[in-house]
Amino acid sequence: MPSYVGGKCSRCGKNLKNTTLKYTAKGKLFCFDCYQIVASQIEEEQSKQDEIFDYIKQLFKVYSVSEALVEGIRRLIKEGMTEEDILYVLRYVYEIECVDLDLDFLTANVRRYQEEALKYREEQEKIAKINMNKTISNETRTIKIKKEILDEKAKPKFSYNMEDL
């Protein structure tokens, strides 16, 4: 949003004393060009966070998330987790591990499963790299199984005589 205060751009250091409009975002002063960049970054971050919240709403079948949960997710981001990591951990816990966690303790559980989920993602990426180098043949193979082998496998491993019972 524009303001009329003098100073320097927080991003590029451009002197803003001679210009009439200055822009502020996240409590910092920006020139118009830098503000456009920062505003697009803020918008991108917000859309990623909205994706997390939409997934949580879908998962728990709720229409809105609590302010405490929003603050918890933002705190995780400030502590260094990316939005993609948070979303991946949530998907790992609920879709891969099928763990049914409580909505009230969601941010604590994201921290708890973070390392496990990220290790799983690394393993999956390694497997994907290995599989990229493999060629898949569409060759049809016919396997013949002899009936005697099937009959042998169908026999019980132990048998009883009626007289012994």
| Residue (of 111, 117, 112) closest to 96 by Cα position | 117
Q: Which two tokens stand for residue 37?
A: 């960049």
28-30, strands of its sheet edge to edge: 2-3, 22-25, 28-30
Residue 46: exposure state from Cβ atoms within 10 A (0-12, 13-18, ≥19):
exposed
pLDDT, position 157: 67
pLDDT of residue 35: 85
Instruction: Return mean pLDDT, the chain.
Output: 82
pLDDT score for 65 = 85
Range with the lowest mean pLDDT among 100-109, 144-153, 154-163?
154-163
Can you tell me the mean pLDDT for 146-159?
71
pLDDT for 120: 93
Tell me: pLDDT of 3 over 60: no
pTM of the model: 0.64
